Amino acid sequence: MKVIFRDKTGPVYCVSTLISLETGKGFGCKVLAEIRNYLSSQKKTAFLFCETELLPFYRKCGLEILAKGDNQFYYVEKNGKTITDPNVIPGEVIVVRGKDGLMEMVLASQDKRVGVID
pLDDT-based confidence at residue 103 (cuts at 50, 70, 90): very high
Q: Which residues of 42-57 are buried (b: 16+ CB within 10 A; e: fewer)?
A: eebbbbbbbeeebeeb
Instruction: Give alpha helix (H) positions in 7-81.
Output: 27-40, 55-60
pLDDT score recorded for residue 4: 94
Mean pLDDT of 9-13: 93
* CATH number of the domain residue 60 falls in: 3.40.630.30
Encode pLDDT of 79-100 as tens digits. Answer: 989 988 877 666 789 999 989 9
pTM: 0.83
Mean pLDDT (the chain) is 88
Give the torsion sign (CA, 109, 12, 46, 97): negative
- Its domain, for residue 78, covers 2-117
pLDDT score recorded for residue 21: 82
Contact status, residue 31 vs residue 19, Cβ threshold 8 Å: no
Contact status, residue 57 vs residue 28, Cβ threshold 8 Å: yes
How many structural domains are present in the chain?
1
Encode pLDDT of 32-77 as tens digits. Answer: 899 888 988 889 999 998 888 889 999 998 999 998 888 888 999 9
Is residue 3 scored above 80 in pLDDT? yes
Q: Select the more confidently predicted residue: 10 or 18.
A: 10
Q: How far apart are CA 70 and CA 73, in angstroms?
A: 9
pLDDT score recorded for residue 89: 67
Q: Which helix (H) or strand (E) holds 107?
A: helix 102-108
